[in-house]
Each structure stands twice: as C-alpha cells, then as structure tokens.
Chains A and B, each alone.
Chain A
Amino acid sequence: MTAATLFVNPIYLSPTNQLWLMLPLLVTVAVIHKTMRTADIRRLLRDVLVLVAYMAAGTVVLAVVLWLVMTHWPRS
C-alpha cells in the first residue's frame, strides 16, 4: 500500500481483529467529551485517562455479560 492509494483504495482489515480498533474510538470520544466538560484544561490528560479506563472497563463488562447470555441462554 503506497501513500498515494491510502485515501483512495480501502485497506484489508481482518474480521477477527477489528474489535481492537474500538480502542482508538474510545479515546477519541473521551478526549472530545473531556475537552468540552473539564473545568480546567490543564487537568485534561488525567481526566481523559480516567474516562478511557471507565469506558474500556464498561465495554469489557458488557461483552462478558452478552457472552454469558449468548452461551447460557436456554434454547427451546
């Protein structure tokens, strides 16, 4: 993949590993949210890290709950 085709042709993403691409999106959401909401911009980095940790943990918990439901849901 050359730089010339980078924004023209799609790149191949593995279906199994694409969930990892959710992490940068979490960081983006956290940065934008805290940029608007934090009272003091000098504390932005700390606030973002805390929010990313919360969001990542929440996502993992949600994934585990959904996995348990999918695995143990009684089938008729």
Chain B
Amino acid sequence: MARRKTSNPHPVLVLALGWLIPGAGHVCIGRAWRGVIIFLVIGATFWAGVGMGGVLTVDPATDRWWFYSEMCAGAHGLVGWYRQHRVYEEVHLPEMPRIANRAEAMELRQFHMNRILADKGVALVYPTDVVARAYAGVAGLLNLLCVFDATVLAAMGVRGEPHRQRDAQEGEA
C-alpha cells in the first residue's frame, strides 16, 4: 500500500494552535491521542479551578502572576477573562472624590469594587482563592509545557508516534 505523504506543519502554526486549543499542537504533529488527553486534562483542571473559585478566578487586578499563567491555557483563559470582565462591567461604582494621587485613586476604586463584589457573593477570598487559582494557573503552565514540546518537535521535523517511527525505521533496515 502506498504511504500517504504528509508535510510537516510550521512550528509557528503548532505554537499558535497549541496555545489556543490545548493539545492541538500535538494533533498537528500527528500525535492525536496525546492531543486529546492533553485537551481533556487541561480543560478539566482549569474549569475545576473556576468551579471552585467562581467567575473571579481569572482576575488580572487581584493576582497578576496567576493571571499570566492562566492566560497560557489559551481559549480557556480567554473565556475566563471575558467572564471576569463582564462582571466588572456590571458593577456601578459610586461617585468618587477627586484624588490627585493616581495610585490612591485606584486603591479607593478597587476597595469599592471589592465591597460591591462581596455584596454580590462573587468575591474570591482565602482559602478558596489559593486552591482555585492554583488549579487554573497550573493548567495554564502545563499547557505552556505542551506547547513548548509540540513546537520543538515540529521544528525538529518529528511527526507521528515515536514507536511507529521506530517500527518504520526497523522495517526500512
């Protein structure tokens, strides 16, 4: 049977797809089952975190470093950020006094914001915030690892499962 000739995907495409949809990078390089497992596990971990922490798990204003790692989860992180943004948009802040110092003004604004969010029952506090952000953030960091792995393999021209490549090489020899 004639073997179908397939071209290797460009590493930049693998990087972009792997970030946006966890596991898609591995699917691109011909490791479909690995891609499916990565997609399911990273998605489940991220949304388990959001399930525990609620809509403010992904929050750049509260915890910047966890937010960066959550953004590494691609579409999951973007959806989480959009949901958080919608909640902030719905908050109507009271009239603020004029404060010349920008940092103090921002602090006062955040204080009122937090009070309103607490009244709405969505404020994320200790100890739930630690666990929820750890789950969502670790999901993002693991996706970063997967993206790196798939991109490096694509750059090296590797395609398909390792044992199949080995079998093919042995068959040729």
Contacts and interface: CB of A to CB of B under 8 A. Distances in A.
The contact size tier of chain B is 35 or more
A1 to B, nearest CB: 10
A14 B134 CA distance: 16
A15 B34 contact: no
A25 B138 contact: yes
Interface string B98-126: 00000000000000000000000111111
Given A21-B131, A35-B34, 19 more contacts: A8-B122, A10-B53, A10-B122, A11-B51, A11-B54, A11-B128, A18-B127, A24-B48, A25-B135, A29-B142, A31-B41, A32-B38, A32-B42, A35-B41, A36-B145, A36-B149, A39-B162, A40-B161, A41-B33
A41 B131 contact: no
Nearest to B153: A36
Interface residues of A, number: 25
Interface of A: 6-15, 18, 21, 24-25, 28-29, 31-33, 35-36, 39-41, 44
A28 B139 contact: yes
Contacts of A39: 162-163
